[in-house]
Chain A
Amino acid sequence: MGEFKVHRVRFFNYVPSGIRCVAYNNQSNRLAVSRTDGTVEIYNLSANYFQEKFFPGHESRATEALCWAKGQRLFSAGLNGEIIEYDLQALNIKYAMDAFGGPIWSMAASPSGSQLLVGCEDGSVKLFQITPGKIQFERNFDRQKRSAIHKMLVDRQYMGVSKRKCIIWGVAFLSDGTVISVDSAGKVQFWDSATGTLVKNHLIANADVQSIAVSDQEDSFVVGTAEGTVFHFQLVSVTSNSSEKQWVRTKPFQHHTHDVRAVAHSPTALISGGTDTHLVIRPLMEKVEVKNYDAALRKITFPHRRLISCSKKKQLLLFQFAHHLELWQLGSTVATGKNGDTLPLSKDADHLLHLKTKGPENIICSCISPCGSWIAYSTASRFFLYRLSYERDNISLQRVSKMPAFLRSALQILFSEDSAKLFVASNQGSLHIIRLLEGSFKHLHTFQPQSGTVESMCLLAVSPDGNWLAASGTSAGVHVYNVKNLKLHCTVPAYNFPVTALAIAPSTNNLVIAHSDQQVFEYSIPDKQYTEWSRTIQKQGFHHLWLQRDTPITHISFHLKRPMHILLHDAYMFCIIDKSLPLPNDKTLLYNPLPPKNESDVIRRRTAHAFKISKIYKPLLFMDLLDERTLVAVERPLDDIIAQLPPPIKKKKFGT
């Protein structure tokens, strides 16, 4: 194993933006989540809740409504008055269409999925027909004055004071004619749509009830309140031998600290998200057949991709934010100490650069070259490349202009180990190779996607010798290209679960692939087959605790001097897989704390297994080897995120 000096970085001030809408698609078991900065993320619930796609945000496109329609087509509408359809394959916006009704506040698809209704600021409701390629305006329902069939008036009572207006935040229309409304007075009300009368009233919160979602069977629904509580309502029979049923509030869940802005109800779980930026997936125990990995509560806070890149030579870290990049020089120390000691810094970490993007678009990806003299980033419409030059303490930045036309946007950017080549995965599914020269560049080659597929590549890995490039999309297998010959070398057989991280080992050129179901494969590129170790571990199977981790592996790296080691991490642990040691079986202890000091070597060797796991640093956003004996770990404590959020609704806590 060896000991490492660890740079424990906590100055990455990343704050995810709050969740605004959540939409669940039953057909593909996918969840679309839109955030307040306009980002739309797609989670694959079948693949261990992996965030497989995302659409970058845009300052003017505040999403207010999100819905799936016509199978797996995703629409969103927002305050700029546009209805947007997303292209889930090419990962870009298919089209945006103005509804001409001012800001759009709500949107719903008809049960058949062929029609789309939007509610606009001017009070009109507009009906759109969904055509195969586009949507088409069909009707406009203006504000009704007289001809409304029923007017259901909610009482304005707001905790005894009727000063404030009562706002209906959400309604649900059940097939039996029941209308459920949630409002700002904390009420959940059941109405009979035939008569327009109030049937039942549940006062559940002192603050607003902001969201409601009904299950497909219409036997349960979920509401979210501004106090951060999610309530589950169920339709239960009054007595076991009668057919009469009633809606009963069953379980409250308090997983949020702030407003629950959006809820969704999947067949097996309640999904909620809100201002506190967590996406919480609470499985319903009675719906889960076996107690397994799926039955556990999930809280997704951080994106399942890297926001940090690192220049090993210059010890630089590049942090990616929504609208800017930060470049930091790591601190250094001359002191030495024992295991567990905190070493004093002789030189503090230095904030070298703050690079703001131009335009309203969010940054999709960014990268710093290993030599530290190049920075590249991309937004949805533009690609930027900068050359950095260091003169003692000064740093000068020079933009490389005249980017070629095809380099409009990138999903992933990667520099080769010698910083001479730049690999860009564009959202058309093509891979560009660019040779970097002093102050300029030269386009070398473009690997076009295979005919018929439009799937974009999201992950790239290059071998340290620069010969091999591996690229992976969201679902298909990993393609390995030979950079020298500029040819597709081979394709790793497709696996059911999406790839979360890729890396090619030095010297052996083994490709290590981590999947969202926590499997790790090792594929020998020269041999075009899985390595012996990979076959062994597949035969024996991973430890059950390893498979039960709930965050995907986001980064894989290697130790230059120890070819048998694979370094990888997820948000809650850092692991070194020592391929020379025996694999653990289900009976052995997976999470071994620090190795015992005073035990004899024999026992240590007997209990030792291939997985060396450290859980000291969490939540861990990035971890990499700087050199043989130095690690850098970037943490983002949750308390720091909460401290930057607006204060939650004050609640009296008993005993305080």
Chain B
Amino acid sequence: MVEQERVRVVRCGGSELNFRRAVFSADSKYGATRRCRPGRGWSLPGAAGKNCQARRDSLGGGSWLGKGCMRAPPGTRDGAGVCVLCEEGDTPQARGTAPWGARPLPRLSPAGRLRGPGGRAHVSRIGWALGRLEDGPGVDVYATAVALPRGPSFFRTESYIFCVSGDFVKVYSTATEECVHILQGHRNLVTGIQLNPNNHLQLYSCSFDGTIKLWDYVDGILIKTFIVGHKLHALFTVARAEDSVFVTINKEKPDIFQLVSVKLPKSSSQEIESKELSFVLDYINQSPKYIAFGNEGEYVAAVRDFYLSVYFFKKKTTSRFTLSSSRNKKHAKNNFTCVACHPKEDCIATGHKDGKIRLWRNFDDDKKYTYTCLHWHHDMVMDLAFSVTGTSLLSGGRESVLVEWRDAAEKNKEFLPRLGATIEHISVSPAGDLFCTSHSDNKIIVIHRNLEASAVIQGLVKDSNIFTGLMIDPRTKALVLNGKPGHLQFYSLQSDKQLYNLDIVQQEYINDYGLIQIELTKAAFGCYGNWLATVEQRQEKETELELQMKLWMYNKKTQGFVLNTKVNMPHEDHITALCFCNAEKSENPTLVTASKDGHFKVWILTDDSDIYKKAVGWTCDFVGSYHKYQATNCCFSEDGSLLAVSFEEIVTIWDSETWELKCTFCQRAGKIRHLCFGRLTCSKYLLGATENGILCCWNLLSCALEWSAKLNVRVMEPDLNSENIAAISHSSMGSDLFVFKPSEPRPLYIQKNISREEVQWGVFVPRDVPESFTSEAYQWLNRSQFYFLTKSQSLLTLSTKSPEEKLTPTSKQLLAEESLPTTPFYFILGKHRQQQDEKLNAALENELVQLPLTENIPAISELLHTPAHVLPSASFLCSMFVNSLLLSKESKSAEEIPDDVDMEEEKERDDSDEENDFTEKVQDTDNTDLGEDIIHQLSKSEEKELRKFRKVDYSWITAL
């Protein structure tokens, strides 16, 4: 639709502007009309004067860093929308005056909050939630992926895995790997989750906000909140202690933690104060890995540094065991790292920093205690878990190998290797059929009893460094960035799942500290996702640079990328930028690489030397340089006719057909850090951000600076669907987001302090279904969503929906289906019942005329799925409905039937097509909350119904 309405401006003369060709597209929906002025270039009607004005403003020292500040009031994480607070004593009206300051604010609600009239925007968080977005403006933080203080925890029927992510607890299905619920309610990081030992349909969670919450996780309902008051660091439950749980708190010093038992009073009210704490153990470690309860809660074992302390609840005594060689330097690495208790025997397993596992026995006697050593890990043991029966012990660490020690024997061990990343936590399901490991790369693996990985729940892979930045795969619309070492990950933002990994480096990754690995530094998609270019490098010493560029072609058969061309040392020095020419018209895919060696190279796809001319490969077509400056950035204009390459402080514009240098821009404001062309109506502008904190906009027609602004830009991303460009600046206060059009020096939207840390990368992601914010401020979010990645690798976006709303309906259905566990009884009784049912059915068939299946009749389904208030009157529909239930008349004439069927089929096809359209529109309208259109549209569908209705044969009535 949009495509058809584009006005294409082809070639606008203007030799004095050094343009040979220009392709721009306009979108009539946004009301910008454009006219060609033959022979004299082109311009927007009435735009020039305004731009000049703006330019003067900006040059006159205007700054985007206005006084206004948007900040979330503490504690407003209810997803209510953007919360904008003015500074004390400052009126919002006063702040609107500065040209680059915050826009004049519409209304300020009495509570001091602002709610956007049409849509609500809040930053929502997608990545792993290790850090927290402390006080973003109007933020509702949620984390999709997995960060687990005590690993995942299982439900009895092993249908669910729980994991903590940020302020939420996520409930995943083990069978489908879908997230079925997000338990939200905590106001700070959730630190511990435990199933209620007395009711396995309930879950306890504790948080830094000082509360313990009890959830019904099957329905995702918060049952009770117990307010403890202290910051809770870990939670433990014991079946024996029915009305109390154990939590870790720190009282006085920041480093000293106590294990206390909290009495949970029985009360009917929702919020209960439970301040009755009784002290159990002192001087423990805060992480729940360092504490374990054994023998059904008879004792608790806690480790710290070189000590193992065991507290016996019955005797009320503490035994403490010190590793004898702790002082010895040679054995300085035998610190305790984790502890687990045998479920049946008096046996404590402890993991150590040097990779040893010790099994302690007889620890109720200070003297006769004894331990066994198991040693396989060469690095720290990260977590330990006993199987349910205690016959085997699971351990994992940085080797990313799950080790199963059977019968606690050193020689009797099994391995599950190549799990991809450091095992952080191990959890065993209560029935013992499944294990579950969580990994440092934001992944949960569900493992069967026989050590076969059965499911992987992969969040966004956390890598130490994101070099490639954020990209969008044009085909899958997945977010693409560095994943596992040497891999590109394709991450679906909609389903919050990793789609797949593409191994770029194709070498075995050796997990060793201090080893210099090959790093994937650059990647770019081109030609609508048909091509992918990647650059990998490895530099051991200053002079030894290994560089490799790979070009990957999309293979439709395998639905994946296949390596096409490998270029060794494409440049002499680091490649700084990589871009494809994405113009629709370009017949030849073109790639440009810019490098620190002062050259930029143009690579084109050519026939290879294959005699059948079937193989294609990439070769270097042109090498350009400018005064031996380092090439820092490159960028194609939207139509592909121009190439901008920045050489340190200078921007050069090249004709992409002849590779002639057309013009240069130099602002003398520091090296160019970011460079991009404007799009659509603004395609005559070129934007550059320099290291000295100047944002420049050049007019390509006049070859002059259009405007500039002082802004320390860290991220500059153009929106592919609009003219908008997002820039994120960084200062010591935090990062601010500015959205602007190149044609206007005044930003469309400012969001101050979106993140306290530096934002490293950002990207616009086109929406599948356009939103319809009517508010002017959020209109830029209508067609694309903006995602950005901070330095601590939190992927954030501005969004309107709460996490619960984001759940797809399919996952909710899943919930309903998984009602009964498949026990052996089920198999016996269920089969029996099935047989009975079948028999019954058979009997019924004999007796009764089979009724038509209602599901298959489109009329009924349509009727049932259309909202009631938009349906015509019941009397009107009744006949149609009844009719559809009736048996069609037995055909009398054989000739008629085929035609009829054909026709019906055709109609049905039509119908179905239109149905799709129809539902889409319904969704549309639902979101817009605009009632007027609905009636109109529905009446359309209704007409269809009626048409169909009319065609129904009523002749059977006469037969009666």
Enumerate chain A interface residues (CB-CB to B < 8 A).
Answer: 186, 202-206, 234, 236-240, 246, 248-252, 286, 654-655
Known: A238-B345, A240-B364. A203 touches B370 (CB 8 A): no
Which 4 pairs show the lowest CB-CB distances between chains A and B? A203-B411, A250-B370, A286-B368, A240-B364
Contacts of B411 in A (CB 8 A): 186, 203-206
B887 within 8 A of A: no
Expressed in whole angstroms, the minimum distance between the Cβ of A288 and any Cβ of chain B is: 10
Expressed in whole angstroms, the minimum distance between the Cβ of A432 and any Cβ of chain B is: 54
Which of B371-379, B580-588, B819-827 forms part of the interface with chain A?
A: B371-379
Per the bound structure, the CA–CA distance linking A250 and B409 in Å amounts to 10
B53 within 8 A of A: no
Known: A238-B345, A238-B346. A250 touches B361 (CB 8 A): yes
B410 within 8 A of A: yes
Contacts of A249 in B (CB 8 A): 372, 409-410
Contacts of B371 in A (CB 8 A): 250-251
Asked whether B373 lies within 8 Å of A252 as measured between CB atoms, the reply is yes
Asked whether A236 lies within 8 Å of B370 as measured between CB atoms, the reply is yes
Enumerate chain B interface residues (CB-CB to A < 8 A).
Answer: 295, 298, 344-346, 361-362, 364, 367-373, 378, 408-412
Asked whether B370 lies within 8 Å of A237 as measured between CB atoms, the reply is no
Contacts of A236 in B (CB 8 A): 361-362, 370
Asked whether A251 lies within 8 Å of B372 as measured between CB atoms, the reply is yes
* Chain B interface, >50% SS class: loop
Expressed in whole angstroms, the minimum distance between the Cβ of B723 and any Cβ of chain A is: 59
* The one of B368, B372, B373 that contacts A248, using a Cβ cutoff of 8 Å: B372
Expressed in whole angstroms, the minimum distance between the Cβ of B831 and any Cβ of chain A is: 39
Per the bound structure, the CA–CA distance linking A197 and B372 in Å amounts to 27
Expressed in whole angstroms, the minimum distance between the Cβ of B609 and any Cβ of chain A is: 48
Asked whether A204 lies within 8 Å of B410 as measured between CB atoms, the reply is yes
11 contacts between A and B (CB under 8 A): A203-B411, A206-B411, A234-B370, A238-B346, A240-B364, A248-B370, A250-B361, A250-B370, A251-B372, A286-B370, A654-B378
Per the bound structure, the CA–CA distance linking A203 and B411 in Å amounts to 6
Per the bound structure, the CA–CA distance linking A292 and B630 in Å amounts to 73
Per the bound structure, the CA–CA distance linking A564 and B607 in Å amounts to 101
Asked whether B361 lies within 8 Å of A202 as measured between CB atoms, the reply is no
Contacts of B372 in A (CB 8 A): 248-251
Per the bound structure, the CA–CA distance linking A204 and B408 in Å amounts to 11
Contacts of B370 in A (CB 8 A): 234, 236, 248, 250-251, 286
Contacts of A203 in B (CB 8 A): 409, 411-412
List 6 extra interface pairs beyond A237-B362, A239-B346, A248-B372, CB under 8 A.
A204-B411, A236-B370, A240-B346, A250-B371, A251-B373, A286-B370
Contacts of B362 in A (CB 8 A): 234, 236-237
CB nearest neighbor in B for A238: B345
Q: Which of A186, A238, A248 has the most CB of B within 10 A?
A: A248
Per the bound structure, the CA–CA distance linking A238 and B364 in Å amounts to 12
CB nearest neighbor in A for B294: A239
Expressed in whole angstroms, the minimum distance between the Cβ of B540 and any Cβ of chain A is: 22
Expressed in whole angstroms, the minimum distance between the Cβ of B366 and any Cβ of chain A is: 9
Q: Which of B361, B364, B369 has the most CB of A within 10 A?
A: B361
* The one of B344, B346, B378, B412 that contacts A237, using a Cβ cutoff of 8 Å: B346
Per the bound structure, the CA–CA distance linking A252 and B409 in Å amounts to 12
Per the bound structure, the CA–CA distance linking A105 and B344 in Å amounts to 44
Per the bound structure, the CA–CA distance linking A251 and B409 in Å amounts to 12
Expressed in whole angstroms, the minimum distance between the Cβ of B333 and any Cβ of chain A is: 15
Asked whether B409 lies within 8 Å of A202 as measured between CB atoms, the reply is yes
Asked whether B409 lies within 8 Å of A248 as measured between CB atoms, the reply is no
CB nearest neighbor in A for B371: A250
Per the bound structure, the CA–CA distance linking A205 and B409 in Å amounts to 11
Expressed in whole angstroms, the minimum distance between the Cβ of B410 and any Cβ of chain A is: 7
Asked whether A239 lies within 8 Å of B409 as measured between CB atoms, the reply is no
Per the bound structure, the CA–CA distance linking A137 and B344 in Å amounts to 53
Per the bound structure, the CA–CA distance linking A240 and B412 in Å amounts to 26
Contacts of A238 in B (CB 8 A): 344-346
CB nearest neighbor in A for B345: A238
Per the bound structure, the CA–CA distance linking A202 and B344 in Å amounts to 20
Contacts of A250 in B (CB 8 A): 361, 370-372
Expressed in whole angstroms, the minimum distance between the Cβ of B293 and any Cβ of chain A is: 14
Contacts of B345 in A (CB 8 A): 238-239, 246
Per the bound structure, the CA–CA distance linking A202 and B411 in Å amounts to 9
CB nearest neighbor in A for B364: A240
Expressed in whole angstroms, the minimum distance between the Cβ of A298 and any Cβ of chain B is: 18
Expressed in whole angstroms, the minimum distance between the Cβ of A122 and any Cβ of chain B is: 36
Per the bound structure, the CA–CA distance linking A246 and B347 in Å amounts to 12
Expressed in whole angstroms, the minimum distance between the Cβ of A366 and any Cβ of chain B is: 42
Contacts of B364 in A (CB 8 A): 240
Contacts of B369 in A (CB 8 A): 286
Contacts of A654 in B (CB 8 A): 378
Contacts of B410 in A (CB 8 A): 204, 249, 252
Asked whether B378 lies within 8 Å of A248 as measured between CB atoms, the reply is no
Per the bound structure, the CA–CA distance linking A286 and B369 in Å amounts to 7
CB nearest neighbor in B for A654: B378
Per the bound structure, the CA–CA distance linking A286 and B345 in Å amounts to 21
Expressed in whole angstroms, the minimum distance between the Cβ of B719 and any Cβ of chain A is: 53
Expressed in whole angstroms, the minimum distance between the Cβ of B522 and any Cβ of chain A is: 36
Expressed in whole angstroms, the minimum distance between the Cβ of B773 and any Cβ of chain A is: 60
Asked whether B378 lies within 8 Å of A655 as measured between CB atoms, the reply is yes
Contacts of B378 in A (CB 8 A): 654-655
Contacts of A234 in B (CB 8 A): 361-362, 370
Expressed in whole angstroms, the minimum distance between the Cβ of B299 and any Cβ of chain A is: 8
Contacts of B344 in A (CB 8 A): 238-239
Asked whether B367 lies within 8 Å of A286 as measured between CB atoms, the reply is yes
Per the bound structure, the CA–CA distance linking A202 and B346 in Å amounts to 20
Contacts of A246 in B (CB 8 A): 345
Expressed in whole angstroms, the minimum distance between the Cβ of B377 and any Cβ of chain A is: 10
Per the bound structure, the CA–CA distance linking A248 and B374 in Å amounts to 13
Per the bound structure, the CA–CA distance linking A249 and B371 in Å amounts to 9
Expressed in whole angstroms, the minimum distance between the Cβ of A155 and any Cβ of chain B is: 15
Per the bound structure, the CA–CA distance linking A407 and B121 in Å amounts to 111
Per the bound structure, the CA–CA distance linking A239 and B378 in Å amounts to 31
Contacts of B408 in A (CB 8 A): 248
Contacts of A205 in B (CB 8 A): 411
Per the bound structure, the CA–CA distance linking A246 and B408 in Å amounts to 13
Asked whether A239 lies within 8 Å of B361 as measured between CB atoms, the reply is no
Contacts of A240 in B (CB 8 A): 295, 298, 346, 364
Expressed in whole angstroms, the minimum distance between the Cβ of B893 and any Cβ of chain A is: 79
CB nearest neighbor in A for B315: A240
Expressed in whole angstroms, the minimum distance between the Cβ of A265 and any Cβ of chain B is: 15
Expressed in whole angstroms, the minimum distance between the Cβ of A225 and any Cβ of chain B is: 11
Contacts of A251 in B (CB 8 A): 370-373
Asked whether B361 lies within 8 Å of A248 as measured between CB atoms, the reply is yes
Contacts of B367 in A (CB 8 A): 286
Expressed in whole angstroms, the minimum distance between the Cβ of B110 and any Cβ of chain A is: 64
Expressed in whole angstroms, the minimum distance between the Cβ of A291 and any Cβ of chain B is: 10
Per the bound structure, the CA–CA distance linking A654 and B409 in Å amounts to 19
Contacts of A655 in B (CB 8 A): 378
Per the bound structure, the CA–CA distance linking A205 and B412 in Å amounts to 11
CB nearest neighbor in B for A289: B367
Q: Which of B369, B371, B411 has the most CB of A within 10 A?
A: B411
Per the bound structure, the CA–CA distance linking A406 and B367 in Å amounts to 57
Per the bound structure, the CA–CA distance linking A131 and B370 in Å amounts to 43
Asked whether A239 lies within 8 Å of B295 as measured between CB atoms, the reply is yes
Contacts of A204 in B (CB 8 A): 409-411
Expressed in whole angstroms, the minimum distance between the Cβ of B360 and any Cβ of chain A is: 10
Contacts of B373 in A (CB 8 A): 251-252
Per the bound structure, the CA–CA distance linking A237 and B367 in Å amounts to 15
Expressed in whole angstroms, the minimum distance between the Cβ of B180 and any Cβ of chain A is: 39
Contacts of B298 in A (CB 8 A): 240
CB nearest neighbor in B for A239: B346
CB nearest neighbor in A for B366: A286
Expressed in whole angstroms, the minimum distance between the Cβ of A267 and any Cβ of chain B is: 14
Per the bound structure, the CA–CA distance linking A251 and B371 in Å amounts to 6
Per the bound structure, the CA–CA distance linking A240 and B298 in Å amounts to 10
Expressed in whole angstroms, the minimum distance between the Cβ of A292 and any Cβ of chain B is: 15
CB nearest neighbor in B for A288: B367
CB nearest neighbor in A for B410: A204
